[in-house]
Amino acid sequence: MDEQMIKAQICEMGRRMYQRNMVAANDGNISVKIREGEYFCTPTGVSKGYMTPDYICRVDAAGNLLEANPGFRPSSEMKMHMRVYARRPDIGAVVHAHPPYATSFAVMGTPLDQPIISEAVVSLGTVPVPSTGRHLPMNCRKPWKSIFRIMTRCCWSITVPLPMRRI
């Protein structure tokens, strides 16, 4: 897939997140591994619902800016994305959103691990809320190879590595 297509897909994912109320205002961010040590990511300070491919930034594995159009820079949260990629080299994308219902559970410290609604169990599986506070829990008790979604108590969730078109 060429780079313009990847950028367009990132923008489409941002629109879907915005339309489904998974982000508000300038919340959330998306990154995609384009090759070893190189990633596309959404910029800081923009609504994910109104991005165009020229908004997308290119960063290295440390989250440092490699390329961006004037006025755009990567979110400081790319460091969190890079920690996920470092811990899970098999994944190709990270989506960080603030879905309201999941956020409510996360703020209360309540994991989504009970089979209350069968559809949630089938489509989500277990979604842990580690007790490590605001930061991405690299020392999470569950093996990282089995974690696809995680919520933190500071109100955000991360999803890896589902194909972007499934969301």
Average pLDDT across the chain, whole number: 78
Confidence of residue 89 (pLDDT cuts 50, 70, 90): confident
Burial class (CB in 10 A: 0-12, 13-18, 19+), 151: buried
Domains in the chain (CATH in brackets) are 3-166 (3.40.225.10)
pLDDT reported for residue 137: 46
* 109 pLDDT more than 90: no
What's the pTM value of the predicted model, to 2 decimals?
0.76
State how far the alpha carbon of 148 is from the alpha carbons of 56, 91, 143, in Å: 24, 10, 11
* Catalytic residue chosen out of the listed positions 3, 12, 77, 119: 77
Determine whether 3 is an active site residue: no
